[in-house]
Chains A and B, each alone.
Chain A
């Protein structure tokens, strides 16, 4: 097949041409970026797929176990992964979830989950269209002209797919071209948007229209209309480390905010390091090693870890705009973008969440009410409580052997303070009930981690031997709902044992840390409970 280059025609976007569809590309941090001097190139490859099975699609682990269930007609992207894989399956990462779904919350796959899907359950994206639902990111395309919610997205695939290439986008990325339609005008696209495999957040919340419904829309489209170039909206590169791209109506208030958190209050806040700007929508430049070239931009609240160099070159300085900045190298551990995960940033823009006023002002997190938590209970001893902390039955009984509560440890000098629930690595662990997150992830045992949640009635559960991957919405002070993911099953790095969830339960009637180095045979606080009967009851209710 020979490739034919299409050369774009027009220019200019002004009020007179306001109805001409603009061309943009999507950036998870900067949202819609107007393309400059764009060309469109036919493309054979498309890494996106639709997961198709009306009963839900199983997302599998490397051993063929079901990690979670993907709603029918959700959107995924193909990825590369090393290691084992189930037969006739493909590696994928979840991009967007179809809102029309009967899959329960606790079993449902989430955006960003990785695993394997049977090739039989994957369909090309071409035959579907996607409506961004009310939960989608609420941003505007093109300076207030169009809001994204309720827009209809269709992959441009006439005789081939198309790749958008603009002067102001990364040369190493491929951006697949989508048409954006609105309900009141299905004849003319309102915009064309390039979406990269690496940044797909705009497609997280979707309602997928299947072939029949899509064909109705297709009939109304002028499919052969030439693609039109937009914008000569050149973005001026300003050598400021922070770009305040939007006016923040709270800016004045924020500027006058001088409160600081007292120590006890700080302990309830997120203590992780993160990007801290003053403005809610400010972005910070992340630079290449030369400290000159800008790699990408980062937003307020993006969590980072800081590199230490074995040769002790942990920071560098550079003068920018008459001001000297000290730069440190950071890693972005929660980004989707696999090609934008590390770079150099001015040290003054990296702070602990507990020290970042803007972050704590704008990131309140989940608020659980009776409306969104119909199973709200007053105690884990309630008859209709709780959820078994795994989505599948353990592979081994937790009432016997080394897995049971009170099993011997250290030759009998200590007793096991938990039930070990054996499953497979990376399967989700879920909250047994609604509650409040007490701690961030911390090192627990042999390369695994733990998190603590306080549940109704004051009971505290420690979910141990989980991986370091943070589940969405799990940080100190935030509330969780029953069945919400709290982490992912890990495996101790000695290789001694199967992956498991180490589940501890406390009555919450005492003060102090859960772990107690005193002479207690469990080395735990004295309100430690035997979780066995609770787990057996919850297991029976769930499976």
Chain B
């Protein structure tokens, strides 16, 4: 065969090979997760592939694991929210606490010419403490005036609590009042709920809760109360 012909055929052959190689290479790039630098994508991709093989649903985003304190708080707030505030009586409240194994303690005292009942607990769930409720009145005229508890401080404690409150209580979003480390929402005409990151002034002279004024700064208090002001 003529030399030039052989060369030409050889070049064409090489070109074809090169083209094929290029094509193959680009396909590999699309397929292979290892080329992607972001590990999350890798995980997600793998998850997607796996999941698609199974039930076809997309659960690529795993639910965030709740911390023990979040679980505690969620457990408490969920139970409390099952009873409408207007219908919350000392007996009912006490039984909710007993279900949570918190050993309620009730103290009665005078108010006006009536009665005030304070309910606290001997026990507390991890990451929470100082459940405190105040009821005025007696028997069928009883009503809850104040309910509060505390949540252990942490990096996102305020947001965690806010999120769980919104999840469980029918807050009126348009009523929101917020400033640094404080947020409040109306629940209805008579009650509102507020969340505060406690500072030293908040804790000083509290006649019910014991505080270490250095180490307890930053704990979160949640309070449901009557609009009494």
A positions within 8 Å CB-CB of B: 263, 266-268, 271-272, 304-312, 314, 329-331, 333, 342, 352, 409-410, 413-414, 416, 438-447, 449, 452, 460, 464-465, 467-470, 476, 492-496, 502, 506, 508, 510-517, 523, 525
Interface size class of B (residues with CB under 8 A): 35 or more
- Does B211 have its Cβ within 8 Å of any Cβ on chain A? yes
| Residues on the A chain within 8 Å of B208, using CB | 305, 443
Flag if A506 contacts B229 (CB, 8 Å): no
Please tell me if the beta carbons of A410 and B202 are within 8 angstroms of each other in the complex: no
With A452-B111, A494-B182, A511-B113 in contact, do A517 and B228 touch (Cβ < 8 Å)? no
B179 touches A494 (CB 8 A): yes
B26 at the interface (CB under 8 A from A): no
User: Would B146 and A443 count as touching, CB distance under 8 A?
Assistant: yes
Q: Are B184 and A515 in contact (CB under 8 A)?
A: no
In the A-B complex, the 3 residue pairs with the closest CB atoms: A513-B114, A331-B210, A468-B205
In the assembled complex, which residues on chain B have CB atoms less than 8 Å from the CB atom of A329? 210
Chain A residues whose C-beta falls within 8 Å of the C-beta of B111 in the assembled complex: 438-439, 442, 452, 513-514
Q: Which of B2-10, B51-59, B132-140 forms contacts with chain A?
A: B132-140
| B155 adjacent to chain A (CB < 8 Å) | no
| Residues of chain A lying within 8 A (CB to CB) of residue B177 | 494, 496
Chain A: which residue is nearest B131 at the CB level? A308
The reply to whether B145 and A310 form a contact with Cβ atoms under 8 Å apart is: no
CB neighbours of A449 from chain B (8 A): 207
A-B contact pairs, 23 of them (CB 8 A): A271-B108, A271-B118, A304-B210, A305-B206, A308-B124, A310-B127, A310-B128, A312-B123, A330-B210, A333-B205, A438-B110, A438-B111, A439-B111, A441-B207, A468-B206, A513-B112, A513-B114, A515-B112, A515-B145, A515-B228, A516-B137, A517-B136, A523-B190
Complex Cα distance A493/B203, Å? 11
The answer on a CB contact under 8 Å between B229 and A445 is yes
User: B residues near A, CB below 8 A?
Assistant: 69, 86, 107-116, 118, 122-130, 132, 134, 136-137, 141, 143, 145-146, 148, 152, 177, 179, 182, 184, 189-190, 194, 196, 202, 204-212, 223, 225-229
Q: How many angstroms between the C-alpha atoms of A540 and B184 in the bound complex?
A: 39
Residue from A309, A440, A442, A511 with most neighbouring chain B CB atoms (10 Å) = A442
Chain B minimum-CB-distance residue to A413: B189
- Given the contacts A333-B205, A442-B134, A517-B143, A267 and B109 also touching, CB distance less than 8 Å: yes
CB distance from B88 to the nearest CB of A (A): 11
Whether the pair A525, B112 counts as a contact (CB closer than 8 A) is yes
A446 and B115 within 8 A (CB): no
Complex Cα spacing A447 to B207, Å:
11
Q: Nearest A residue to B69 by beta-carbon distance?
A: A310
Contact A314 to B108, CB < 8 A, known contacts A442-B116, A517-B226: no
CB contact under 8 A between A512 and B137, given known A311-B126, A413-B189, A502-B229: yes
By the criterion CB–CB under 8 Å, are A442 and B129 in contact? Answer: no
Q: Is the CB of B109 within 8 A of A440?
A: yes
The distance in angstroms between the C-alpha atoms of A494 and B184, with both chains bound, is: 8
- The docked-state distance in angstroms from the alpha carbon of A510 to that of B108 is 20
Total CB contacts across the A-B interface at under 8 A: 162
Residues of chain B contacted by A465 (CB below 8 angstroms): 229
Q: Is the CB of A517 within 8 A of B190?
A: yes
Q: Which residues of A contact B223 (CB under 8 A)?
A: 443, 446
Report chain B residues within 8 Å CB of A502: 229
Contact (A493, B207) CB under 8 Å given A439-B116, A511-B113: no
Closest to A83 in B: B201
Contact between chains at B225 and A445 (CB < 8 Å): yes
Chain B residues with Cβ under 8 A from A331's Cβ?
210-211
Complex: A307 Cα to B204 Cα, angstroms: 14
B226–A310 contact, CB under 8 A? Answer: no
B228 touches A512 (CB 8 A): no
> By the criterion CB–CB under 8 Å, are A493 and B107 in contact?
no
Q: A267-B110, A494-B179 are in contact. Are A513 and B116 (CB under 8 A)?
A: yes
Can you name the residue of chain B whose Cβ is closest to the Cβ of A447? B202
Are B204 and A308 in contact, with the CB atoms below 8 A? no
Residue picked from B115, B204, B206, most chain A C-beta under 10 Å = B206
Asked whether, in the complex, the Cβ of A410 is within 8 Å of the Cβ of B141, the reply is no
Picked from B124, B141, B207, the residue with its CB within 8 Å of the CB of A512 is: B141
Most buried by B among A267, A443, A449, A468: A443
Assess whether A512 is in contact with B113, with CB atoms less than 8 Å apart.
yes
Contact of A352 among B86, B107, B123, B145 (CB under 8 A): B107
| Contact assessment for A515 and B210 in the assembled complex, using a CB-CB cutoff below 8 Å | no
Min distance, Cβ B146 to any Cβ of chain A, angstroms: 5
Most interface-central of A413, A492, A493, A525 (chain B CB within 10 A): A493
Is the beta-carbon distance between A495 and B110 smaller than 8 angstroms?
no
Task: Tell me the complex Cα distance, A446–B116, Å.
Answer: 19
Given contacts A310-B127, A310-B128, A312-B124, contact A510 B113 (CB under 8 A): yes
CB contact under 8 A between A268 and B110, given known A440-B207, A443-B148: yes
Asked if B152 contacts A310 (CB within 8 A), the reply is: yes
Known: A308-B129, A493-B202. A443 touches B134 (CB 8 A): yes
**Residues of A contacting B194 with CB < 8 Å?**
446, 494
Residues of A within 8 A of B123 (CB): 312, 314
Chain B residues near A510 (CB, 8 Å)? 113
**Do residues B127 and A514 form an inter-chain contact, with CB atoms below 8 A?**
no
| Shortest Cβ distance from residue B204 to the other chain A in the assembled complex, whole angstroms | 7
The CA-CA distance from A441 to B205 in the complex, in Å, is 11
B113 touches A508 (CB 8 A): yes
Q: Is the CB of A342 within 8 A of B225?
A: no
The residue in chain B whose Cβ has the minimal distance to the Cβ of A420 is B229
Q: Are B136 and A513 in contact (CB under 8 A)?
A: yes
Task: Tell me how far the C-beta of A454 lies from the nearest C-beta in chain B, rounded to whole angstroms.
Answer: 9
Give the complex CA separation of A513 and B129 in angstroms: 28
Q: Which B residues touch A271, using CB under 8 A?
A: 107-109, 118
Quote the shortest CB–CB distance from A278 to chain B (angstroms): 22
B137 surroundings in chain A (CB, below 8 A)? 512-513, 516-517
Flag if A314 contacts B115 (CB, 8 Å): no
**Besides the contacts A414-B189, A513-B136, A525-B112, what 14 more A-B pairs have beta carbons closer than 8 Å?**
A305-B210, A309-B129, A314-B124, A342-B210, A441-B207, A442-B116, A446-B223, A464-B228, A492-B229, A494-B194, A496-B177, A512-B141, A515-B136, A517-B136
